[in-house]
Amino acid sequence: MSSEMKPEKPLQPENLPFKTRVTGFLIASVIQVISFSLRIKVKDQSGILDQRPSGALIWAFWHNRILVTPWLYRKHLSDRNGAVLTSASRDGAVLAETMRNFGVSSVRGSSSRRGGQAMVELVKWIRDGRDVVIIPDGPRGPSYQLQPGIIKLAQKTGAAIFPILVDYQSYWQLKSWDRFRIPKPFSKVLITLGSYESIDSAIDDERFELERLRIEKVLSGKPEV
């Protein structure tokens, strides 16, 4: 069972500042402590916990719900080899190092810095059969607004988008751009693993925008009926 596996850390970049290494380790430790105290329920609409898909997936969840996703990976899906897209900024380096402590690699880049190179690397990860994680309203928002990159990636690769919804019963909310949420210890958390969402590679610009809005609604818990 994957929940018993302990993924090895990816190699640490040689030029990573000491402060970034320490900060990433400390954040990862805090995440583990908080997650250990929570009463987390996982609702699996995708069926991934019973049967792994044969191809690579594009994981997607909102920026302000990221805190418990390392727990989800480590507890239930640590056999999935993959990488998370982080920004090329200093904050992105901290996030990359945090995720490295959970056994997850990173691809550095964003729409403003190394965007083209990051897309090339993500495509390669997927074509090698490995998952990627996209936080589609990051790294600077607007919050809950899905950026088009994830749709383009699904188009290029044929990989399905794997939506993950996180709902905290009780939480603290920071005054950051995304109103980042920190669940209170011992509170309930519901993680919904949504059904896989495919994107047609041949859609025109109008349909592209409709698909972007559709996935945005799915991640917001408002799927089309």
What is the CATH architecture of 40-219? 3-Layer(aba) Sandwich (3.40)
With the CA atoms of 180, 110, 79 and 195 taken in that order, what torsion angle do they form, in degrees rounded to the nearest 10?
70
The share of the chain scoring above pLDDT 70, in percent, equals: 90
Per-residue pLDDT tens digits for 177-195: 999 999 999 999 999 999 9
pLDDT of 91 reads 86
| Bond into 70 cis (ω within 30) | no
The share of the chain scoring above pLDDT 90, in percent, equals: 78
pLDDT of 139 reads 84
> Among the residues of 11-170, which ranges form H helices?
18-37, 69-76, 90-100, 115-127, 149-157
Residue 119 has pLDDT above 60, yes or no: yes
pLDDT of 1 reads 33
pLDDT of 117 reads 85
Regarding predicted confidence, which is higher, 78 or 4?
A: 78
> Residues 16-20: what's their mean pLDDT?
89
What's the chain's average pLDDT? 90
For residue 210, the surrounding DSSP H or E stretch is helix 205-219
Per-residue pLDDT tens digits for 44-95: 999 999 999 999 999 999 999 999 999 999 999 999 999 999 988 888 899 9
| Bond into 139 cis (ω within 30) | yes
Question: 119-127 long-range contacts, Cβ below 8 Å, gap at least 24?
Answer: 119/149, 119/152, 119/153, 119/156, 122/83, 122/85, 122/153, 123/153, 123/156, 123/157, 125/56, 125/82, 125/83, 126/56, 126/58, 126/153, 126/157, 126/159, 127/56, 127/157
Nearest by Cα to 193 from 37, 74, 2, 59: 59
pLDDT of 141 reads 87
What pTM does this model have?
A: 0.90
Residue 16 has pLDDT above 50, yes or no: yes
pLDDT of 5 reads 45
* Residue 193, strand partner residues: 44, 164
Per-residue pLDDT tens digits for 26-45: 999 999 999 999 999 999 99
What does the buried/exposed string (b/e) look like for 93-102 if buried means 16 or more CB atoms within 10 Å of the residue's CB?
Answer: bbbbbbbbbb
pLDDT of 89 reads 84
Region of poorest pLDDT, from 4-18, 78-92, 199-213:
4-18
